[in-house]
Amino acid sequence: MRLIFSFLAAAAIALPALSVANAQQTQPACSSIYTRPEILSMSASQWTLTKSVLSAMHRDGWFAWFAQIHDSWFGKIHSSSQFFPFHRRFIYDWERVARGYNGAYVQPYWDETRDYRTPALSQVLTSSWVGGNGQGSNFCVQDGNQAGWNMTYPSDHCFSRNFTNNGNLAPWYSPEYLQSIIERGDSMTTFRFHVELTLHGVVHFNMGGDLFQNYSPNDWIFMLHHANIDRLWWQWQMNNHMWTIEDRNFDNTTTTLSTNIAYYNEPISTVMQLGYGSMCHQYASDPIRPQAHNSTLQNTLINSLPNDVLSTWFPITAKLPAAAAAPNITPDIAASRPGKPIPYPTQFPQDWVKTRSRDPTTVNSIEKDARDFVTAMNNAGYKSPG
């Protein structure tokens, strides 16, 4: 009885929220939704199928095709409002082609924040999965599903990775920081810059080789990475930003929902809401629903952080009812929890920032924010379970 009652109550709350979210929806609802898994949760048979589709796509020139589009449009689809919509549409396009080879293909994502302390030790980067660092003077990748591949775009070369930090990869961004970005991103510009210039940039930069170039889709990690970036955008969208897109386009005009997606010439509105039009995918961690769900991480934050730190860095979590009840905890209580302090993330070298013509002031302020975050969390005695 209690179960039935809560189900009805939940449905009554969910319906008005859905119709508000759909006020701007012009696309038909998908008749079925498929789920993109985290790569390491794929079954052995699903991974075998995925690898064989990828080999066939490589044989038929699709890696070069996608690398060429990304390279040609690079300046327009980064550091602008195009960043999220273009890449959502682009990953969908890749997945569409792959599903033409085998309808059971779904594009997995890599939850890179899980591996943020020591990315080089990630299981994803082992020979059973996508392989690790390149070998020899040209850093040709010799293991994983792209082992020994020769790429043709922009000219013939071996498929390569050149990990930073002498092959060890420096730490990147914690799940806590991404959660903080999602909660503090009060405009598309703020949220987009934080994602683009932290986790997004550092994975490209740290991996080196093909993934570091404007033709980065040569490395299939590109698709895993951008599916994850897309998932983070969706998490933000579910926090009352379903239709938020205002941000500067590449020509410095203000973006609206009817602005076209670069290269595809389709309105941005067509990709905004998962579950409609061609966007019939959802992420295993974040099934389609009108509002964000409370996560285990949020519970950990509520139970571990003093209220001032919580409200500064996690304003949404701080407003959850449980937060009001959470007592201030002293650092030594926090220190007895499992987990470890958060390491400071990799910073981009200044010369790289200049050559990529990114605005150094913006990059520096975002990197400072990320360091201030780590300092505040560690000073509060927070131990990251990750």
Cα–Cα distance, 281 to 88 (Å, whole number): 11
Three-class secondary structure of residue 277 per DSSP: coil
Q: How far is the CB of 92 from ligand NAG (least distance, A)?
A: 27
Q: Report whether 143 contacts 159 (CB < 8 A).
A: no
Q: List the one residue from 136, 321, 327, 338 that touches ligand NAG (CB under 6 A).
A: 321
User: Among residues 119 and 208, whose Cβ is nearest to ligand NAG?
Assistant: 208
Helix, strand counts (H, E) of the chain: 17, 4
User: Among residues 81 and 164, whose Cβ is nearest to ligand NAG?
Assistant: 164
Stretch that binds ligand NAG, among 19-27, 68-76, 79-87, 291-299 (CB under 6 A): 291-299
With tokens 């009001």, the residue in question is 324
Query: What single string gives the DSSP state of each residue in 326-382?
Result: SPP--HHHHHTSSSBPPPPPP---HHHHHHTT--HHHHHHHHHHHHHHHHHHHHTT-
Q: For the chain, give the number of residues.
A: 386
Q: How far is the CB of 97 from ligand NAG (least distance, A)?
A: 22
Stretch that binds ligand NAG, among 42-50, 67-75, 228-236, 289-297 (CB under 6 A): 289-297
Query: What single string gives the DSSP state of each residue in 283-330?
Result: ETTB-S-SSPPP-HHHHHHHHHS-HHHHHHH-HHHHTSHHHHHSPP--
Residue 320 binding ligand NAG, by CB under 6 A: yes
Q: List the one residue from 50, 81, 133, 164 that touches ligand NAG (CB under 6 A).
A: 164
How many CA within 13 A on the CB side of residue 336?
Answer: 4
Tokens of 33: 């939704």
Q: How far is the CB of 272 from ligand NAG (least distance, A)?
A: 20
Tokens of 142: 């010799």
Three-class secondary structure of residue 252 per DSSP: coil
Q: How far is the CB of 165 from ligand NAG (least distance, A)?
A: 8
Residue 329 binding ligand NAG, by CB under 6 A: no
Q: List the one residue from 31, 32, 252, 258 that touches ligand NAG (CB under 6 A).
A: 252
Tokens of 206: 């740290």
Residue 237 binding ligand NAG, by CB under 6 A: no
Q: List the one residue from 19, 150, 187, 350 that touches ligand NAG (CB under 6 A).
A: 150
Which residue in 63, 223, 91, 56 sits closest to 154, CA to CA? 63
Stretch that binds ligand NAG, among 93-101, 122-130, 176-184, 315-323 (CB under 6 A): 315-323
Q: How far is the CB of 323 from ligand NAG (least distance, A)?
A: 9
Strands of the chain (E only): list them. Answer: 34-36, 150-151, 157-158, 281-283
Residue 324 binding ligand NAG, by CB under 6 A: no
Residue 208 binding ligand NAG, by CB under 6 A: yes
Stretch that binds ligand NAG, among 22-30, 63-71, 256-264, 288-296 (CB under 6 A): 288-296
User: Among residues 139 and 215, whose Cβ is nearest to ligand NAG?
Assistant: 139
Q: Count the site residues for ligand NAG by CB under 6 A.
A: 13
User: Among residues 127 and 150, whose Cβ is nearest to ligand NAG?
Assistant: 150
Binding residues for ligand NAG (CB under 6 A): 139, 148, 150, 162, 164, 208, 252, 291, 293-294, 320-322
